[in-house]
Protein backbone atom coordinates (compact mmCIF):
# COMPACT_ATOMS: atom_id res chain seq x y z
CA UNK A 1 0.00 0.00 0.00
CA UNK A 2 1.36 3.38 -1.00
CA UNK A 3 1.18 6.27 1.38
CA UNK A 4 2.29 9.83 1.02
CA UNK A 5 5.20 9.23 3.39
CA UNK A 6 6.44 6.28 1.34
CA UNK A 7 6.14 8.33 -1.82
CA UNK A 8 8.03 11.26 -0.27
CA UNK A 9 10.82 8.96 0.93
CA UNK A 10 11.11 7.31 -2.49
CA UNK A 11 11.22 10.71 -4.16
CA UNK A 12 13.94 11.93 -1.81
CA UNK A 13 16.01 8.82 -2.48
CA UNK A 14 15.65 9.11 -6.26
CA UNK A 15 16.14 12.88 -6.51
CA UNK A 16 19.94 12.69 -6.62
CA UNK A 17 19.80 10.25 -9.55
CA UNK A 18 17.83 12.62 -11.77
CA UNK A 19 19.18 15.94 -10.56
CA UNK A 20 21.23 17.54 -13.35
CA UNK A 21 24.80 18.49 -12.65
CA UNK A 22 25.05 16.70 -9.32
CA UNK A 23 26.55 13.24 -9.72
CA UNK A 24 25.56 10.89 -6.90
CA UNK A 25 28.90 9.09 -6.85
CA UNK A 26 32.01 8.35 -8.85
CA UNK A 27 31.53 7.96 -12.58
CA UNK A 28 32.43 4.72 -14.35
CA UNK A 29 35.50 6.41 -15.82
CA UNK A 30 36.67 7.37 -12.32
CA UNK A 31 36.11 3.81 -11.12
CA UNK A 32 38.18 2.44 -14.01
CA UNK A 33 40.93 4.93 -13.23
CA UNK A 34 40.95 3.91 -9.57
CA UNK A 35 41.12 0.23 -10.55
CA UNK A 36 44.05 0.94 -12.86
CA UNK A 37 45.86 2.80 -10.08
CA UNK A 38 45.28 -0.11 -7.68
CA UNK A 39 46.63 -2.55 -10.27
CA UNK A 40 49.71 -0.39 -10.78
CA UNK A 41 50.27 -0.24 -7.01
CA UNK A 42 49.94 -4.03 -6.80
CA UNK A 43 52.57 -4.51 -9.52
CA UNK A 44 54.89 -2.01 -7.81
CA UNK A 45 54.50 -3.94 -4.56
CA UNK A 46 55.46 -7.18 -6.33
CA UNK A 47 58.53 -5.46 -7.75
CA UNK A 48 59.56 -4.16 -4.33
CA UNK A 49 59.00 -7.51 -2.60
CA UNK A 50 60.85 -9.44 -5.29
CA UNK A 51 63.79 -7.04 -5.06
CA UNK A 52 63.74 -7.45 -1.29
CA UNK A 53 63.71 -11.24 -1.65
CA UNK A 54 66.74 -11.13 -3.96
CA UNK A 55 68.67 -8.99 -1.50
CA UNK A 56 67.59 -11.07 1.50
CA UNK A 57 65.45 -8.37 3.13
CA UNK A 58 62.10 -10.11 2.48
CA UNK A 59 61.07 -13.60 3.49
CA UNK A 60 60.23 -16.18 0.84
CA UNK A 61 56.66 -16.81 2.01
CA UNK A 62 55.87 -13.10 1.68
CA UNK A 63 57.26 -13.19 -1.87
CA UNK A 64 55.10 -16.20 -2.75
CA UNK A 65 52.00 -14.56 -1.27
CA UNK A 66 52.62 -11.30 -3.13
CA UNK A 67 53.20 -13.12 -6.42
CA UNK A 68 49.94 -15.07 -5.94
CA UNK A 69 48.05 -11.83 -5.31
CA UNK A 70 49.63 -10.26 -8.40
CA UNK A 71 48.72 -13.29 -10.49
CA UNK A 72 45.10 -12.97 -9.39
CA UNK A 73 45.11 -9.24 -10.19
CA UNK A 74 46.63 -9.88 -13.61
CA UNK A 75 44.07 -12.59 -14.41
CA UNK A 76 41.30 -10.17 -13.44
CA UNK A 77 42.68 -7.43 -15.68
CA UNK A 78 43.03 -9.86 -18.59
CA UNK A 79 39.45 -11.07 -18.10
CA UNK A 80 38.17 -7.49 -18.11
CA UNK A 81 40.20 -6.71 -21.22
CA UNK A 82 38.78 -9.77 -22.96
CA UNK A 83 35.22 -8.68 -22.13
CA UNK A 84 35.90 -5.17 -23.44
CA UNK A 85 37.35 -6.55 -26.68
CA UNK A 86 34.40 -8.93 -27.02
CA UNK A 87 31.93 -6.08 -26.52
CA UNK A 88 33.78 -3.94 -29.07
CA UNK A 89 33.69 -6.75 -31.63
CA UNK A 90 29.98 -7.23 -30.97
CA UNK A 91 29.39 -3.54 -31.64
CA UNK A 92 31.33 -3.80 -34.89
CA UNK A 93 29.10 -6.67 -36.01
CA UNK A 94 25.91 -4.66 -35.46
CA UNK A 95 24.13 -3.63 -38.63
CA UNK A 96 23.93 0.09 -39.19
Note the pLDDT of residue 18.
63
Residue 64 has pLDDT above 90, yes or no: yes
61 pLDDT band (50/70/90 cuts)? very high
User: Could you tell me the residue ranges of all domains in the chain?
Assistant: 26-93
pLDDT of 90 strictly over 90: yes
Q: What is the pTM of this model?
A: 0.64
Q: Chain-centre distance of CA 6, in angstroms?
A: 34
Helix (H) or strand (E) holding 68: helix 60-93
Using CA atoms, how far apart are residues 64 and 24, in angstroms rounded to an integer? 40
Assess whether pLDDT exceeds 70 at residue 87: yes
- Residue 19's pLDDT band, with cuts at 50, 70 and 90, is low
Mean pLDDT computed over 14-33: 73
Cα–Cα nearest to 65, from 80, 52, 76: 52
Amino acid sequence: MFTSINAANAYSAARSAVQPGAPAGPTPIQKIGEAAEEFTAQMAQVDAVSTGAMTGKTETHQLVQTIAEAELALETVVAIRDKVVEAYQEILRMPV
